[in-house]
Amino acid sequence: MAQLIHHPAYLFFALIVLLPVAAALGAITLQRIAPLSDDARDNYNVVQGATLTLLALLIGFTLSMAVGRYDQRKNYEEEEANAIGTQYLRVELLGEPRAAKVKALLRDYVQLRIEYYKTREAHELEIINGKTAALQAQLWAHVREAAIAQPTPITALTVAGMNDVINTQGYTQAAWLNRIPVSAWTLMIAIAFFSNLMQGYGVRGQSGRRVLLFVLPVTVSLSLSLIADIDSPRGGLIRVVPQNLISLQQSLPAS
């Protein structure tokens, strides 16, 4: 299940097979085993309506969760760019040659953060995270040494700025790891399965059967795949583009 929700395309193909099969089971198997009588259809319609309503509510709720997490990732990208850009200016207060060294490290740090947003490979992500941690240690060491050598409000300002740079990276990483729980996905797919099963069970007529057995599975498959795409930072088509970090990189001098 985890691999499916991390790759929305795989989830769509799995659902586009599973849900029509559920509808076909209801239309062919259940109708033969326990035909739905006219007396029982009113009760059936109530149960079917409640099931479809529950499915719609769950889809709407999880879509809201996914969009909220996507907006959070975008906001943290902006905060990262602002924190790094501000710190790039503040390090001039440290004086030369320390300021030049920290600025060079910050330029490398911006490139690493851009690569973090763009990469899709897990192995490459591990390398980027390792380099990021090493760079953060170097940046912190420089401002710490400056603060120890000259404990003034000016150096305290640069220390606070570096703390913001490191903290925003941590907030970003936490936001990228914050996903819709697998248990919620399992519940939604189970309800979608039974909704399509009931849809097939209650369909009447050959022409209506063909239409209903196609529309609902495709609609639900597209909806769940869209949610998975928005909620997947690296596996989907809808991704956070590090526009602010790229703009910051372009505005920084080469040396």
CA separation (Å) from 106 to 117, 121, 158, 243, 252?
A: 17, 24, 13, 17, 10
Residues 33-48: what's their mean pLDDT?
76
Distance CA 142, CA 130 (A): 19
Distance CA 252, CA 85 (A): 9
Q: Model confidence over 75-118: pLDDT tens digits?
A: 999 999 999 999 999 988 888 888 889 999 999 999 999 999 99
Residues 50-69: what's their mean pLDDT?
91
Distance CA 181, CA 88 (A): 38
The mean pLDDT of the chain is 87
Residue 206: predicted pLDDT: 54
Non-local CB neighbours of 30 within 8 Å, separated by 6+ positions:
197, 200, 201
Domain ranges of the chain: 2-251
Residue 63: predicted pLDDT: 93
**pLDDT band at residue 68 under the 50/70/90 scheme:** very high
* 162 close to 139: Cβ distance less than 8 angstroms: yes
Distance CA 200, CA 25 (A): 7
Distance CA 130, CA 206 (A): 60
